[in-house]
Amino acid sequence: MSIRSAWGNLSRSIVYLVLMLGCVIAIAPFVVTILASLKTTGELVQGIFSLPEEAQWKNYVQAWNDGHFSRFFLNSIIVAVGVVIPSIVFSTMTGYAFARFRFKGSGILFAFFLLGLVVPLQALVVPLYYLLREMGLLDSLWALILPQIAMSMSFGTLLMRQAFLSIPREIMEASIVDGASSWTTLWQVMYPLARPMIGTTALMFFIWTWNEFLLPLVVNIDPKYQTLPVGLLYFQQRWTSNIPVVAAGATIIFLPLVAMFLLFQRQLVEGITQGAVKG
Amino acid sequence: MQAPSTPDPLKQITGAATSAAPVTPPARHGILARLEPYLYLLPAFLVFTVFLALPAFGSVILSLTSWNGVSWDTATFIGLENYIDAITDRRFQIAFWHNIVLIPYFVLLPLLLGLIPAAVVHQLKLRGARWLQAGLFLPYIMPGVLIGVVWAWILNPIFGPVNKILKNMGFSPPTWLGDFTWALPTVGMIGAWAAYGFCYVIFIAGLQKIPSELYEAVRLDGANTFQEFMTVTVPGLRREIAVVLSVNLINALRAFDIIKATTDGGPGDQTQVMALYMINTAFGANRAGYGTAIAVLLALITLIGSMLVLRFMGEDDA
C-alpha cells in the first residue's frame, strides 16, 4: 500500500469519526432523555447511559394522566388535521389559479398572498389576540386552527404554483380539449400529478403546526385547549423536581416526530430545503 | 368545502377556448368565466385576509396608540411615541443586544459546523453517510420548547449528565442556564446544536449539483484543497449559504421558544430577548400598544437583516 492511499484511508476514517461524533451529539440528548424517562429519580443520579433496573412505565402513566398529556395529544392531532387538510385544499386552489389563469390583478394578489413570508407571527400576534377576543374565539381550538391556516397560505401558494407550472401545459390542455371543466381538470388530472409536491407541503404544514408554540401560548389560557408544546411547558414548570416524569412527557412529544421523520425522511429534507425560504 | 366553480356554466369556455387561445380563458366568455380564477382564490383569500393581513395591518395601527388592552375606548392615538420609547428603553436595548450576541451562535457556528464537514465529505467522495444525515437532521424538526426542556434537564446542575461528567473529571462547572455569565452563551450553544445538522444536510444536497468537472479543472491548474474549497465549493454553494444564513439569522433575531422553555429571560434579564420582551410587555404588563410597537420593530429588524444577507450574497429572489 502506498503512503498516499494509506493517508487517504486515514483521513477518510477521521472524517467518518467526526461525522459520527456530530451525529451522536445530535441524537444523544434524545437518547439520554428516553433513558431518563424510564428511571427512578434515584437511578437518574447514578449513571447517565446506564439502563434502569426496571423500566418505570409509571412515569408515562403519570405524564399521560396527571400531566393531561392525553388531552394535549388529542388537541394537537385535531389542530394538525384541522390545519393541514384545509391548507392543502386552499393552497392547491390558489397555486392552480396563479399557474393556470391570466387575470386582472393576479400580480398584486400573488404578492398579497406572499405577505406571510415576510410578516412573522410575532409581528401580528397582539392584534390577532384581540381580534380573536372580539370573535369570542379565545380559549378554543378555532383560535389555533384558523390563524394557522392563514399562516400556511403563503408558503402553500408559492409551492403549489411552482408544482403546477412544472407540469407540461399540454397535459392540462388535453384534459380541457376532452371537455373537462377547470375544476375537474384540477382534481382529476393536475392534483395526482402534483402529488409528490403536495405530500412534501403537507408534511411541512404538519410539522409547523405540531411545533407551534407562540400562538397557543398567547391565545389559549385554559389548559383544556392546549397543544403539546405549551402542555410540555406547563408540565415542566409543575414537575421541576421530577425529571423522569418530565422526560416521559418530552418523549411523548418527540417519538411521533421521530417516526414521521423515519417514514418521510426524503420528502422532509426536500421540503425543509425549499421551506427554508419561508423562514 | 366551497364550490367555487360549478362545472356546467364553464362548458362554454372550455369548448370555445380550445380553438383559439388554448387554456387561458380570455375575458370575453361571460361573467362567470371571468370570475373563475377569483373563485379559486376566494377561500384562501378570506382566511388569509381576516387572520393574517388584517392583524398585520392592525399591528401598525395599534403600535401608534397607548392602550391597556382591556376596553377599546381607553385607546389613545400617540403617534410614534411608542417607537421613541422603545429605542430609549434600557430593557429593550438589552433585549436587542442579546439577540445580536446570539448571532454568532445561531448563525456562524452552525454554518461552519455544517459547511466544512460537508465540503470534506464531498471532496473525499465518501459514500454511505445517509443514515448519518438522518441523525444530524433530527433536532431541526423538533419543537423549540422540547429542545429547551430536554437541554434544561441535561444541564441541570444536580441531576443533569453534563455537570455529572464534568464533576467526575474534576471540574467545578457553573450552573449554566442559571448562571449570570453563562446563561446567554448556553442558550446560544443550544441554538447552534439545533441548527448545525440542518446546515450540513442543506450543503450536502447543494454540493451534488456542482459539476465535478469544475473540481477537475482547478485541480489541473494545480489548486490545493483549500483553493478548491474557496474557488469551487463556496461559490457553488452561494445559494445554499444565503438560505442558511438568512434562516439562521431570522432564528437568532426571533428567538423565543427555546429561551421561554429554558430561562424565561433570566436570571435577571440575562437572556431577555426582543420577542420575549414583546410578549411580556403586551400581555404581562398590559401595554398592548407599546408591545405591538416592539413587535413591529422586531419584524423590521428581521426583514432588514435577511434582506442584507440576500443582497450580500447576490440573491435577488430567494
Is A179 in Cβ contact with B44 (below 8 Å)?
no
Closest CB to B47 among A24, A25, A153: A153
B-chain CB neighbours of A116 within 8 Å are 48, 52
- Residues 133-192, chain B, touching A (beta carbon < 8 A): 133-146, 149-154, 156, 158-159, 161, 164-165
For the record, the C-alpha cell of B172 comes out as 467545578
Q: What average pLDDT score do residues B234-256 get? A: 91
Give the Cα separation of B40 and A247 in Å (integer): 46
Output the CA torsion B239→B245→B248→B254 (10° steps): -110
Question: Is B8 a residue whose pLDDT tops 60?
Answer: no
Q: Does the beta carbon of B307 lie under 8 angstroms from any beta carbon of chain A?
A: no
The string of DSSP letters for A206-268 reads HHHHHH--HHHHHH--SGGG--HHHHHHHHHHHSTT-HHHHHHHHHHHHHHHHHHHHHSHHHH
Chain A / chain B CB contacts < 8 angstroms: 301
Note whether A141 and A79 are within 8 A (CB).
yes
Q: Looking at CA atoms only, how far is residue B52 from chain A in angstroms?
A: 6
pLDDT at B16: 37
Angle between helices B54-62 and A121-134 in degrees, nearest 10: 100
**B68-125: per-residue pLDDT in tens?**
888 888 888 998 999 999 999 999 999 999 999 999 999 999 999 999 988 888 887 7
At residue A192, φ and ψ (nearest 5 deg) are -60, -35
- Residues 101-130, chain B, touching A (beta carbon < 8 A): 113, 117, 120-121, 124, 126, 129
pLDDT at A275: 59
Give the Cα separation of A158 and A167 in Å (integer): 15
**CA separation, residue A110 to residues A146, A157, A191, A225, B317 (Å):** 21, 8, 20, 34, 15
For B19, the closest chain A residue by CA position comes to A177
Question: Is B3 a residue whose pLDDT tops 70?
Answer: no
Sign of CA dihedral A90, A95, A98, A99: negative
**Alpha-helical regions (H) of chain A:** 3-37, 41-46, 58-65, 69-100, 106-113, 115-118, 121-134, 142-165, 169-177, 182-184, 191-193, 195-211, 214-219, 228-238, 243-263, 265-275
For the record, the C-alpha cell of B225 comes out as 484543497
Distance of CA A93 to the CA centre of its chain: 22
Is B282 in Cβ contact with A229 (below 8 Å)?
no
Q: How many helices (H) and strands (E) does chain B have?
A: 17, 2
pLDDT band at residue B64 under the 50/70/90 scheme: very high
**A61-80: per-residue pLDDT in tens?**
988 888 888 999 999 999 99
Q: What average pLDDT score do residues B24-32 get? A: 58
**B140-156: per-residue pLDDT in tens?**
889 999 999 999 989 98
A-chain CB neighbours of B295 within 8 Å are 122-126
Where do we find the cell 450553544?
Answer: B189
Is A26 in Cβ contact with B139 (below 8 Å)?
yes
Q: Looking at CA atoms only, how far is residue B235 from chain A in angstroms?
A: 18
For the record, the C-alpha cell of A230 comes out as 405549551
Residue B2 neighbours by CB distance under 10 Å = 12
Question: Is B269 a residue whose pLDDT tops 70?
Answer: yes
Suggest the residue from A14, A32, A122, A176 to mutate for an interface test with chain B (most B CBs closer than 10 A): A122
pLDDT at A278: 45
3-class DSSP state for residue A99? helix
Q: pTM of the full predicted structure?
A: 0.87
Q: Does the beta carbon of B309 lie under 8 angstroms from any beta carbon of chain A?
A: no
Note whether A254 and A69 are within 8 A (CB).
no
Is A124 in Cβ contact with B56 (below 8 Å)?
yes
Higher pLDDT, B8 or A246: A246
The list of chain A residues with pLDDT below 50 reads: 277-279
**Alpha-helical regions (H) of B104-222:** 109-123, 130-137, 144-154, 161-168, 183-207, 212-220
B-chain CB neighbours of A218 within 8 Å are 279, 283
| CA Rg value for chain B | 26
Q: Looking at CA atoms only, how far is residue B181 from chain A in angstroms?
A: 23
Amino acid at A189: V
Note whether A274 and B205 are within 8 A (CB).
no
Where do we find the cell 356554466?
Answer: B9
Q: What percent of chain A has pLDDT over 90?
A: 42
Which range has the worst mean pLDDT, A8-17, B213-222, B270-279?
Answer: A8-17
Q: Looking at CA atoms only, how far is residue B285 from chain A in angstroms?
A: 13
Closest CB to A23 among B132, B154, B156: B132
pLDDT at B314: 67
Q: What average pLDDT score do residues B54-59 get? A: 95
- Residues 194-233, chain B, touching A (beta carbon < 8 A): 196-198, 200-202, 205
For B121, the closest chain A residue by CA position comes to A15
Question: Is B22 a residue whose pLDDT tops 70?
Answer: no
Note whether A37 and A247 are within 8 A (CB).
yes
Which range has the worst mean pLDDT, A151-165, B119-133, B290-304?
Answer: B119-133
